[in-house]
Amino acid sequence: MLLAQSPELRVFRIIRIVQDGEMRITTAEFIKQYGELADRAISEPLTVTKNGRDRLVLLSVAEYARLLECARHPGVRPADEVGAESKS
């Protein structure tokens, strides 16, 4: 008798964690697990691969906006980094 896998176990089975902690998954598995993985990408970027090569990075709108702001104003640190530094 086969035991059914929980969705959490299935996600961990298909995600490969690389040394820097970045989540990586194949395009085919991303399509199958879109809902779960899109939710997870809100808290950390997700690299989607095709034929073993990095193809896309899925990240939250907030992180995308932060990156755009950094690109538009090089040398100016984002407010969230300044606030985090003052709390330490």
Asked if residue 1 is part of any domain, the answer here is no
SS3 33: coil
pLDDT band at 1 (very low <50, low <70, confident <90, very high): very low
CATH number at residue 53: 3.40.1620.10
Residue type, 86: S
Q: What is the pTM of this model?
A: 0.61
- Give residue-wise pLDDT tens across range 49-77: 999 899 999 999 999 998 888 888 877 77
H helices, E strands: number in the chain: 5, 4
Asked if residue 41 is part of any domain, the answer here is yes
Host domain of residue 76: 13-87
Asked if residue 5 is part of any domain, the answer here is no
Asked if residue 8 is part of any domain, the answer here is no
Asked if residue 77 is part of any domain, the answer here is yes
Instruction: Find out whether 43 and 63 touch, Cβ atoms under 8 Å.
Output: no
Asked if residue 4 is part of any domain, the answer here is no
Asked if residue 44 is part of any domain, the answer here is yes
Number of domains in the chain: 1
